[in-house]
Amino acid sequence: PASAAGVTSEAPGAEAAAGVAAAPEPKPKPKPVASPQRSPVNDLKAAHKLVQRSKHAFGSTALCLSGGAAMGNYHFGIVKALFEGDCLPDIISGTSAGAVVGAFVCTRSDDELRRDLCREVLLQRLTCFNKSWGECLAHFVRKGALFGQGDWLACIKWWTFDTMTFEEAYQKTGRVLNITLSVANRQSPPILVNHITAPNVVVGSAVLASAAVPGFINPMRLRIKGEDGVVRVHDNAELYFDGSITQDIPIAGLAETFNCRFFLTSQCNPHVVPFFFSSKGAVGQPSRWSRYDVDESWRGGFLLSVLEAYLKVDMQSKMAFLKIIEAAPGVTGTVMTQDFEGSVTIVPRVAFEDFFKLMSDPSPRDMDRYLQRGQVAAWGKIALLKHHYKLARRLEECLSELEAQ
**CA dist., res. 224 & res. 202, Å (int):** 6
Structural contact between residues 269 and 68, judged by C-beta atoms closer than 8 angstroms: yes
Catalytic residue among 96, 205, 210, 244: 96
344 φ/ψ sector (left φ>0, alpha ψ -120 to 50, else beta) = beta
Q: Is 242 one of the catalytic residues?
A: yes
φ/ψ (deg, to 5) at 226: -80, 180
N-terminal to C-terminal alpha carbon distance within the chain: 89
φ/ψ (deg, to 5) at 288: -85, -5
Q: Spell out the alpha helix ranges (H) of 23-109.
A: 40-58, 74-84, 97-106
Q: What's the one-letter identity of residue 76?
A: F
180 forms beta bridges with: 192
Q: What's the one-letter identity of residue 325?
A: I
Query: What is the maximum alpha-carbon separation in the chain?
Result: 145
**CA dist., res. 114 & res. 213, Å (int):** 31
**Cα–chain center distance at 57:** 16
**CA dist., res. 226 & res. 234, Å (int):** 12
Is residue 44 classed as helix, strand or coil in its secondary structure? helix
Q: Is 235 one of the catalytic residues?
A: no
Q: What's the one-letter identity of residue 322?
A: L
Beta-strand relationship, 344-346 and 191-193: unpaired
Catalytic residue among 182, 210, 242, 366: 242
In terms of Cα–Cα distance, which of 372, 334, 389 is closest to 63?
A: 389
Structural contact between residues 385 and 87, judged by C-beta atoms closer than 8 angstroms: yes
| Residues designated as active site | 96, 242
